[in-house]
Amino acid sequence: MGLTLMATAQAASFDCAKAQSKAEHLICDNQKISELDTRLAQNYQDVLSKTNEEQKQRVIADQKHWLTFTRNACENETCLKHAYWSRQAALETYFEPRAPLYKKEADKAAAIKHVLTTAPLYPRYDTPFCRQVFDDLKQMKGIRFVDPIVQTQSYEDPALDPWKKQCQSAPPFNFSYQCSRNIIPADADDVLDGCNASYGLPPFKLYELPPEGASGEKRYIFYADDAYGPMNRDFRKPSLGGGFAGFQQVNIARCLSLRGNHWERGGKKSSWNGMLADAGQGERNGKNYNSIIEYNNQYYFLVLHEVRDNYWLNIEPTAFNIHPIVCRWSPVKQ
């Protein structure tokens, strides 16, 4: 039964003589994966020992969902590594402060307007467009906030299942990586062997945007509020802010391989997602101002985060096929 019942450990957290699924056999036959399984079992028990009854029931439900729909869907070692590292990131950061979810994204418009009209923010690129959008944001003039089709505080929320089901064996939507300049990964295994792997933290949001250009395909943007990593480095302890957090484009219709087509932005490449707008390493202070807005019939990322009592603001188009007008404001005069 695996981690939910916490059977007597053998090569893993369960009795390998009773392994049934392909995933369980892979765990028992691979020392590295077996060690990840044992560690996750310890993380799980540690979280349960510190939760109240309501929290405990949510953690148990997430763990059961993870076992059935994430771990046991794996048919290879790489998939299992993603499954364990993603869940490990969730459990090891379970008690960290989380930003709230809004019933409607427009509910935070007043708070954003207050920040922009009171905080010292100076343009990094003083262009007519950037001046205009900043003035309009301060008045919330012509700004429409886009509501996500799914928002949740857990990557194992069943509400995400319809969108994840076609890519169960692919890297999760909340995965990101960073490679050294001299490393060009050839496939998904190379990514985990040679690059730093991190996993996004809640709140998570999935947005659906109209097709871009002549593709005819709707665009899906996945948002993670923070990142935890690297998870695949024994010599480096994972930490908050240890990876990409923000908006990423994901392909719901087909799971691309690293050898196939990829999106490229800012020198970052990915097969299953396109890194778009980085939320930066803001403070986990219970705020969540990052949004997708519609302005002048175009969609933009609005990234507003606080670092040591200072605010930083970026406005960046969501589309790849238009000129990348990026507006940035910082608390420092240029």
Q: Do 208 and 164 share a domain, yes or no?
A: yes
Q: Report how far apart, in Å, the C-alpha atoms of 12 and of each of 63, 89, 108 are.
A: 16, 19, 46
Q: Give per-residue pLDDT as tens, 215-260.
A: 688 889 999 999 999 999 988 899 998 888 899 888 886 665 433 3
Q: Do 62 and 111 share a domain, yes or no?
A: no
Q: Do 82 and 130 share a domain, yes or no?
A: no
Question: What is the C-alpha to C-alpha distance for residues 311 and 316, in angstroms, rounded to an integer?
Answer: 17
Looking at 36, 70, 95, the residue that finishes a domain is: 95
pTM over 0.85: yes
Q: Are 72 and 20 contacting, i.e. CB atoms less than 8 angstroms apart?
A: no
| Residue numbers of the domain that contains 184 | 97-334
Checking DSSP bridges between strand 268-270 and strand 263-265, what pairing results, if any?
antiparallel
Q: Do 256 and 131 share a domain, yes or no?
A: yes
Domain count, the chain: 2
Q: Do 18 and 123 share a domain, yes or no?
A: no
Q: Do 35 and 46 share a domain, yes or no?
A: yes
Query: Vertex 245, ends 239 and 246: CA angle to 5°?
Result: 165
Q: Give per-residue pLDDT as tens, 36-93.
A: 999 999 999 999 999 999 999 999 999 999 999 999 999 899 999 999 999 999 999 9
Q: Do 250 and 166 share a domain, yes or no?
A: yes
